[in-house]
Chains A and B, each alone.
Chain A
Amino acid sequence: MARYAIVMDTRRCIGCHSCTVACKVHNELPTEMVYNPVVSDGPHGTFPNLSMRFLPLICMHCENSPCVDACPTGASIQREDGIVYVEDKKCVGCLSCVMACPYGARYMNHETGAVNKCNLCMDRVDQGLVPHCVATCHQKARIFGDLDDPTSEVNRLINENNGVQLLGELGTEPHIYYIG
């Protein structure tokens, strides 16, 4: 069984927000919901030695996902391949998962009364395609692949560049790695 992950190469990300737009368009998200924010960290240092980086964020599809454990209805589900998604009809909108997620990756949809989140475009992934945010990134800053495949590009990038996980100290074991 595959274990899907995304590597975010912050050396390549230029903060163009193409991933944000692609995701919003394809998922038809309301204005206040952004599954793929790209935040900027910096500038750091003093002139002329300044540096700035962009951090593309997304649901971390954690191995130990606190949102799935917190959901009282069983609407938040983790597939065997690691993808965490919400089964809309089971969700009662209690916001337990929203509060439990340390990454702010879940949003209340006030039109439906349910919680929505990135599902890593699992319908596309099941067809052998990559998520929209990955497909649209013209800088190839997002690399999608299988962690269980030792020959995959994501494994190579993580091992060669000491990939890190955001808020790793919380023990959530995110499937999104950052290099740069």
Chain B
Amino acid sequence: MSAKHQTWGWMLAVDFFFAGMGGAMLVIAGLADLFVGRDSVSLLGSVVGPLAMCVGCGFLILELGRPLQAWRVFMNPKAILTFGAWMMTFAIIFGFIFASFAIDFSLFFWRDSALLRHLVAILMVVTGLIVATYPGVLLARHKGRPFWVGPGIMGLFLLSSLVTAFAAHYLCGLIVAPRNVPYLWEAMPYVLGALLFAQGLLWCGYLWIKLSGTSKSEAASAKRWISGDQSQQFKLAFLFFGTVAPLILTLIPLTMAAAMAAVLALFGGVTMRLLTVNSGNDRTMIPGEAIYRSRLPKGHEKFLGKAWL
């Protein structure tokens, strides 16, 4: 922990980003294999998916107060974080096994078995979908966190995961072209554009609902995004650079424009998660509690040192 914070920090947001993107990349790769054909996504994309989840796990471990005891998060089957940790582990394993089918290496004797590949693809799609969705479910269950509570955040996280996954698959395809079915890769910018449109629309709707239709604390937390301390980052970084600008770029039929759109969409995905996790600082307060807590010392302030001397 870099700072003395009492809520989740930026590393968890980055974990959510990599886990969501990686999980959704597995879903896309698996579905493409099952319904379009073998090697219809880039080999690099198939490797980057599980690798991204590994990076996400690394950030999650660094976020812990006791990183060396990270294995303990697998211990309580009732906790959603434990469920997510197990699913992420399975998704990583299935992801790497699936990627091995596309690697020309004699030791991978299973690579010609279509049945096994399809089975792994199905398992990968299921676990990948859970990994892409579960951060939203995790946040949505926090009754005392007004910005998160409710099912809406789950849909937004899943949508963002798909946006970032299509962007990452497209960029990977630029570096290592898919062996088969090139039209799938060529169609990705259009799918990305449609998802970005939905993302912009749903986020505006989500904030409007939080602002107008629910409790005072939910309205106050939404105001931070519209006119408060998070509004600049939301409007400029996420809405403009992370959603609208890439949406416009996807409409330009140039590879360079689509690549820029993909990079900006990834930037938007990180920004969205940073802002959302930061909104966890807002809690439904008991009358008088906010004033009391604002007056508490934040650490070993100078005046305390003087008082004891």
Interface of A toward B, CB cutoff 8 Å: 31-32, 34, 37-42, 55, 57, 66, 69-75, 90-96, 98-104, 107-108, 110, 112-115, 166-167, 170-172
Please give me the residue from chain A that is nearest to B143 by CB atom. A170
Interface of B toward A, CB cutoff 8 Å: 1, 4-8, 63-67, 69-70, 72-76, 78-82, 85, 141-145, 280, 283-289, 291-293, 296-301, 304
Task: Determine if A101 and B144 form an interchain contact, defined as CB atoms under 8 angstroms apart.
Answer: yes
Residues of B within 8 A of A102 (CB): 143-144, 283-284
- Most A CB contacts (10 A, CB to CB) among B8, B144, B145 go to B144
The 10 A-B pairs with the shortest beta carbon distances in the complex, nearest first, are: A93-B65, A102-B144, A113-B65, A39-B288, A72-B81, A73-B72, A72-B73, A41-B287, A72-B82, A39-B292
Beyond A72-B79, A92-B73, 17 additional contacts (C-beta under 8 Å) are: A31-B301, A38-B292, A41-B287, A72-B75, A73-B72, A93-B65, A94-B64, A94-B73, A94-B81, A95-B65, A102-B283, A108-B6, A112-B65, A113-B65, A114-B66, A166-B286, A167-B284
CA gap between A40 and B294 in the complex, in Å: 13
Known contacts A40-B288, A99-B280; A72/B145 CB under 8 A: no
Please give me the residue from chain B that is nearest to A44 by CB atom. B287
Task: Determine if B75 and A55 form an interchain contact, defined as CB atoms under 8 angstroms apart.
Answer: no
Task: Determine if B144 and A170 form an interchain contact, defined as CB atoms under 8 angstroms apart.
Answer: yes
Task: Determine if A69 and B78 form an interchain contact, defined as CB atoms under 8 angstroms apart.
Answer: yes
A-B contact count (CB 8 A): 135
- Looking at the assembled complex, report how far the CB atom of B205 sits from the nearest CB atom of chain A, in whole angstroms: 25
Task: Determine if A103 and B286 form an interchain contact, defined as CB atoms under 8 angstroms apart.
Answer: yes
- Looking at the assembled complex, report how far the CB atom of A51 sits from the nearest CB atom of chain B, in whole angstroms: 13
Residues of B within 8 A of A72 (CB): 72-76, 79, 81-82, 85
- Looking at the assembled complex, report how far the CB atom of A142 sits from the nearest CB atom of chain B, in whole angstroms: 17
CA gap between A91 and B285 in the complex, in Å: 26
- Looking at the assembled complex, report how far the CB atom of A34 sits from the nearest CB atom of chain B, in whole angstroms: 7
- Most B CB contacts (10 A, CB to CB) among A73, A93, A100, A115 go to A73
- Looking at the assembled complex, report how far the CB atom of A94 sits from the nearest CB atom of chain B, in whole angstroms: 5
CA gap between A75 and B78 in the complex, in Å: 12
- 5 CB contacts below 8 A, A to B, read A31-B299, A57-B289, A72-B74, A91-B66, A170-B144
- Looking at the assembled complex, report how far the CB atom of A74 sits from the nearest CB atom of chain B, in whole angstroms: 4
Task: Determine if B64 and A92 form an interchain contact, defined as CB atoms under 8 angstroms apart.
Answer: yes
Please give me the residue from chain B that is nearest to A74 by CB atom. B76
Q: CB < 8 Å: which of A39, A69, A114, A172 contacts B289? A: A39
Task: Determine if B7 and A98 form an interchain contact, defined as CB atoms under 8 angstroms apart.
Answer: yes
Known contacts A32-B296, A167-B144; A73/B65 CB under 8 A: no
Residues of B within 8 A of A90 (CB): 72, 75
Residues of A within 8 A of B142 (CB): 99-100
CA gap between A124 and B106 in the complex, in Å: 67
Task: Determine if B6 and A107 form an interchain contact, defined as CB atoms under 8 angstroms apart.
Answer: yes
- Looking at the assembled complex, report how far the CB atom of A56 sits from the nearest CB atom of chain B, in whole angstroms: 11
